[in-house]
Chain A
Amino acid sequence: MSRLVSDLGKDLVGLEPLSANQIRTVLDTAEPFKEISERPIKKVPVLRGKTIVNLFFEPSTRTRVSFEFAEKRLSADTVNVTAAGSSVVKGETLVDTARNMEAMRIDMVVMRHIASGAARFLAERIPSNVINAGDGWHEHPTQGLLDLLTIRDHKGRIEGTRVCIVGDILHSRVARSNIYGLLKLGAEVGVCGPPTLLPVGIQELGVQVFRRVEEAIEWADVLNVLRLQLERMQSGFVPSLREYNRFYGVSSARLERAREDLLILHPGPINRGVEMDSDVADGPRSVILNQVTNGVAVRMAVLYLLAGGTPETAESAKHAAES
């Protein structure tokens, strides 16, 4: 039971395997979907009859809700499996979980998993479309796409834009998806964070490394400020949240040296007073809520693009088009 291969392929595992054109296709497709969420009846029937499982092995209210809105606005039937701590998954391997899902004849799986590569692992083993909603430190492609869309909305273009990602790059799937997507679309990419939170070899990806956040702020057109997980302090990557804020926090004072039109993104949820001060998060440069709105549109676009029929019907459609 294989399926129609869409412009994106069967799955969305990451932005690294996509071409610039494929990424642009998603962004362009997201544009009209923005409007659906503005309607009084926020629903179109395009995915009617499709069954989608949101399989979250890690808690994530934000991403799951965004996907769920996207799915429901496209009229798909959705089931949420929040596996962290539930008996469904304790002791069951990912292979078995996948086979069980497949046995229930689902069409798509949106998965969040703690292990890098988990989405690809699943995608290689089931015929359903798999959308990666975040796998370990690897990728979070829909977050990358919504960041791209938000930058494009506000800057008019991505090519040539200087985007600096600030914070815990090492453990961040958001950083990786952003780096791949931005570089493919021709942006200049910088990263900035404490050396303990920068992965080895990051420069080889083609990004510039800033040691001090002040330099990053002066350089950038866009800052994408990452959330600092509390666990990072507990495992000693940074001595304390206070010290992190003191040396890497994005504050109004630091922004005085920034370009007038500097744009500030954050994937959320924000630790106010840690990676970003409240007046910055709520200030005029911040487009954090636009990101959230765009998130639904981008996810609708991805769901829509990955949806498709069987090879047989695709074949007959091809013949019909030729005759």
Chain B
Amino acid sequence: MAQTRTPLMDERAVRRALSRMAREIVERAAGTGRLVLMGIHRRGDEIAALLGEEIRKAEGTPPPIGSLDITLYRDDLAVIGPRPVVGESRLPAGGIDGQVVVIVDDVLYTGRTIRAALDELMDWGRPTRIYLCVLVDRGSAARELPIQPDSVGRTVELSHGKRVDVLVPELDGQLAVEIVGIEPPVEDT
């Protein structure tokens, strides 16, 4: 299966977007006092860490950061079967009760992951407010649930066959966003 990779954002573009998103978040949360970031495992974790760093640079103190693994909250277990690797969810120090929680993910597509994350967050406690922040939004036309982001790095409308890959230094050795096109397989005759 041949793949084509087209750059969407380079490192500078990603960092600029993150810096803007950090400001938007702080503004919406009216400061960092009760602000908590929850990254969605795995690349959302990395984006949350970068965002946290941007917030620290701007505000002086980093917000507490937690991690959500939504594997056990997925709605497609019966379709895909269980995944042997279940990640660990981690609450930020101080928990989420009464906090302003920002869910951070790399790409927003159908909205199902965010639904699962919301359910998991509700099981953990009762935040006063939840925001959603994503680096790439594939546009509201792709959504399968009524979920919209509050802060977005870049919006891009793509056909169903394309994929957006967010590359992060921890896992991929670089910070960038690429569009991956997958050629349909040649039919066997």
Contact = CB atoms under 8 A, between A and B. Distances in A.
Report A-B touching, CB under 8 Å.
yes
Contacts of B78: 308-310, 313
A35 interface: yes
A317 interface: yes
A314 B184 contact: no
Main SS of the interface on chain B?
A: loop
B95 to A, nearest CB: 8
B185 interface: yes
B84 A41 contact: no
Interface residues of A, number: 31
Contacts of A314: 79-81
B77 A40 contact: no
B170 interface: no
A12 to B, nearest CB: 13
B119 A45 contact: yes
A40 B124 contact: yes
B151 to A, nearest CB: 28
A33 B185 CA distance: 38
Contacts of A45: 72-73, 119
A222 interface: no
A25 interface: yes
B72 A309 contact: no
Contact of B77 (A35, A43, A309, A316): A309
Contacts, number: 71
Contacts of A322: 185
A74 B74 CA distance: 12
B82 A6 contact: yes
Given A45-B72, A45-B119, A29 B81 contact: no
A28 B84 contact: yes
Contact of B123 (A33, A44, A310): A44
B125 A305 contact: no
Interface string B118-132: 011001110000000
A29 B85 contact: yes
Contacts of B71: 46
Considering the complex of A and B, which 8 residue pairs feature the smallest CB-CB distances, nearest first? A309-B78, A44-B72, A46-B72, A32-B88, A32-B86, A317-B79, A41-B123, A308-B81
16 contacts: A4-B81, A28-B85, A29-B84, A31-B88, A35-B88, A35-B90, A39-B124, A41-B124, A44-B72, A74-B72, A304-B82, A305-B84, A308-B78, A308-B82, A309-B79, A314-B81
